[in-house]
Amino acid sequence: MFLQLYWGLGVLQQVGLLNVDGYYNSLLSFIDKAVEEEFISPTASHIIVLAPTPKELLDKLEVTYPLTKRM
């Protein structure tokens, strides 16, 4: 798991999951069920960013919060 925390005007929290060969599929199903049962809000579940390769994951995280804006 890869966690990013940024403090500034607001807080951006992301959980990056490197989902190689569907390793985290059970966890994602659990989260989907928790949203369906209204235990977790749909917006809270959007902090999860997943990809099957490290490059794709880092690219997705970069699109969400570019490196140039972090400094």
Q: What are the boundaries of each domain within the chain?
A: 2-70
The pLDDT tens digits for 31-41 are 999 999 998 88
Q: Kindly report the CATH class assigned to 2-70.
A: alpha beta
Is the model's pTM score more than 0.85?
Answer: no
List, as own/partner pairs, every contact residues 57-63 make where C-beta atoms lie below 8 angstroms and the sequence separation is at least 24, other chains included. Answer: 57/2, 57/16, 57/17, 57/18, 58/16, 60/16, 61/2, 61/4, 61/14, 61/16
The pLDDT tens digits for 23-32 are 999 999 999 9
